[in-house]
Amino acid sequence: MNKTYQVKAKDNLQVEVHTWTKGEVYEVVEKSDYMTLASNQGCLNYVLTIKEQVLGEFEVLEGQQ
């Protein structure tokens, strides 16, 4: 089952061609072994083993994580 929630960027961020704007809200969808994080240019997939590191750059909204 997929888990969907929202996060807010703590700062302006950039990874390769993907960017996130400070204060903007983005969607995260967790699957069984990876998560998809929306960006200004589309979305990016991350393995769940680095979830805490990636989400450390965001404020998780709605009390989910």
8-41 pLDDT tens trace? 999 999 999 999 999 999 999 999 999 999 999 9
Domain of residue 54, CATH code: 2.30.30
Residues 34-50: pLDDT tens digits?
Answer: 999 999 999 999 999 99
Domain containing 21 equals 3-60
User: Has residue 65 been placed in a domain?
Assistant: no
Asked if residue 49 belongs to a domain, the reply is yes
Q: Is the pTM of this model over 0.85?
A: yes
In a domain, 20, yes or no: yes
pLDDT value at position 63?
59
Instruction: Decide if pLDDT at 65 tops 90.
Output: no
Structural domain count, the chain: 1
For residue 51, the tally of other CB atoms under 10 A from its CB is 16
Which stretches does DSSP call E strand in the chain?
3-9, 13-15, 18-20, 25-30, 34-38, 43-47, 58-60
